[in-house]
Structure 1
């Protein structure tokens, strides 16, 4: 029986944490013939009842000096393969390493981090790319950036998956129609363009604007954006639960995702699954993932183009909603993603064993 060590320290976080949870929820129960060592915090207790799971509690933050110099790897090295859903690889791991590089945002968009922070991430991703026997990523766009910056090592595109927690729920419906934006307040999310489009082209007469996502404690956040919270019709919810997010999406007139850079972009997928029209910037990754869906694109970084796109949006018919939901369920499920990862890991293990 193959034993896979899975680094779960980012469980509960956005982005990588969602990717990890989808993988765990699908793979642990469906691959009962594989033994898993889960490395992380008390969040892992929900998996402790599974017979094919062992848990190693580790209180070491990702991307910390302790991770690099004194990570407890004895039990990890007793496994056959180490899988990390990100690119922070602890030192001392002697078994084959598999990692995931979701995007190279910090490399491509300098404003997202300080110079020191940027170079720490660049060195970390270079190291993981060098150490890894197998690299996963979440879009062809991210794969192209990996090849540009890191080299042409083969990498496997898994795409991302819809969260099972995103299901229609009932919440009180506001009297006025509203637009929803989902994402942390960071420069690459394009929120400034959305706010300019909303306040500059009369959309506030038709819609409220609900901004969902964390807006505190980010060094790269725009403090001036929070001033828009004083404008009538604009509200910041902060981080919400999956259930609250489902309700906010379900009752929205549209979701607008004006990002200038993404590795994949999950919120539009969630909105589409719930039957909500979507407006997207015309960046390459959105064209890759969403061109087969009934979304409205606008010119990235252009508030006027965004305002015109929002004005063109019409509700989907029930026929369109059903077709979209079925397409998502055929392409972007946790089961499909976990199958790609597990089968690739097994292949890597078998090849490594044959070469010993």
Structure 2
């Protein structure tokens, strides 16, 4: 919600616009020029209302003004903007609808009024009305790009990916710049088709996403899921392993599918060998693997237990909560039972906390999503690779 200072500054801006016009109107004139027509008394009273923060009175007075000309138009826009910033979109809508009803607006002024009204509708959540007005402005030489950008925002909110693609294509033609977002839209369409069972259509969308560049992780994961559903486990494994080779932060998402594919082909020993090769690349891989094992409640193969045990003994917080010396001396069966109990506790802690965070803005969520609802960035949400022990004492 705008602060008191915001309200005051916005009001002063409106008044400054009016005073600037008065100064220009009554300052230096060439000798012999006729005096300007008298200032509209309603206009001056309206400025006074704004200055005194009597916005209701200002609104009614500006709405009743018989004429809106170049001199007073900007003040109307500023007043409408003030209302929208304060969350009073109904009043902003009245201001801009009143402007559009005036017959003396030129094309540029009318486009500006349409754009402002569309922003009002957008702020009020009236997406269908906002879309209609922004669409009308697609061809505007001054506001076309901004209108298309707002249309993209609407289509993303409504998950209308086909229209989002069309709008972005228009933007690319207008700006001459390629957008990486189109690939994500195709991935959204591909995932929707996959979940509905139309795998051929999903593959078509994925081909388009590759041509549009980026969206690599998402597209690869969807292709792997399609291969897994079609029991092409060799292809699925190749794709899942490709993701892990590129970004091990996705271990939490990929590991259960990797295990399922190896088990479906009765190749558990090959899974262990693959994981050993992966772990050999660094300690971080082993930690990521242990974290993924705990979160997903996996118990086999034995390499999982070894990774989790090493994780427990090396973790600063967990190691202080257990007698590590006594723990290491426990018989194998007892140690495995202790590891299982600790793992269950850690899993419950993780599942009751935010599990994913946007690397761009910090937005947290319980599930993996590809479009951050806070900062609108794509493919920036990743698993939180840590246990939030502070929740235990909160």
Give the TM-score normalised by structure 1: 0.24
Bigger radius of gyration among the two: 2
Structure with greater contact order relative to length (CA < 8 Å, sep ≥ 6): 1
Q: Name the one with the larger strand percent.
A: 1
